Structure 1
Amino acid sequence: MIKLLRNYLFWTYERGSFHYDVMVTLILLFLFVGPRFIDFKDKPVETVALQSSEVLVKAAGSNEEGNLFVYQIRAEDMHGAATDSDRQAAILRVIEPISGGVTLERYEAVHDAQGKTIAYNAWVLR
């Protein structure tokens, strides 16, 4: 048994042998199944469009009414929208030339580390 474990550890089996196939299968299982059961505590980095003419679009699923997308719009593109209705109108002004007629479901501000609003995430039904 110790010899078997040592051979697995030092990868001494020939390619195409049963033990080689077992090792490759275990590695592939770890790569593809491991992230579902192991919490690596990684978090995605918030990305904001680099240029004012860019809008970041992510698919957010679908429901019975249509497809849901998240549009990330830079705060500078909102052009001084102070009230809630002004912000909704500004968001639609930016999004509609890109994707046509849409329905704004909700939106929320994206803040940087200092708490300054740098962008808005808008959930849009298309």
Structure 2
Amino acid sequence: MGKILRSYLFWTYERGSFHYDVMVTLILAFIFLTPHFWNYGDHPQQEKLAAGNVLVKIAGPGSYVYEIPAAAVHQDQAPLDGQLQQEIQSVSGAVVLDRYLAVKESRGKITAYRVWAHR
């Protein structure tokens, strides 16, 4: 048994042999199965927008989702939907707002507004 383990450790088996196939199978199993059981901590990051940037995503034919940073909108001035409409029109022209949602961070601070609109 010790000889087999030593051969596995130093990878001395010929390609195509039974033990070689077992080693390759174990490696592939490790690569594809461990992410389901082990959290590696790598998650996609959210887009961080500067104050003047508007992120536009296509949601369907003639339908778009806009993400507007909260710094671009001033709560104490004109109505919120009017300000969002103005920000969007500066990027993509005349659109009709369907709805909007405030995007908040974990502590409850509004970081952006997500707006669904169509032409």
Q: TM-score band (shorter)?
A: 0.5 to 0.7
Partner of 2:89: 96
Partner of 1:67: 62
Structure 1 pair 47/114, CA: closer, same or farther in 2 (3 Å)?
A: same
**Number of equivalences:** 113
Say yes or no: does 1:78 pair with 2:70.
Answer: no
TM-score between both structures, scaled by the size of structure 1: 0.57
Partner of 1:45: 45
Paired residues of 2:55 and 2:67 also in contact (CA < 8 A): yes
RMSD: 4.1
Structure 1 pair 55/82, CA: closer, same or farther in 2 (3 Å)?
A: same
Uncovered stretches (5+) of structure 1, i.e. residues with no partner: 1-11, 13-22, 32-37
Larger Rg: 2
Instruction: Tell me by how many angstroms 1:93 deviates.
Output: 0.6
Identity %: 30
Uncovered stretches (5+) of structure 2, i.e. residues with no partner: 1-10, 12-23
Structure 1 pair 114/89, CA: closer, same or farther in 2 (3 Å)?
A: same
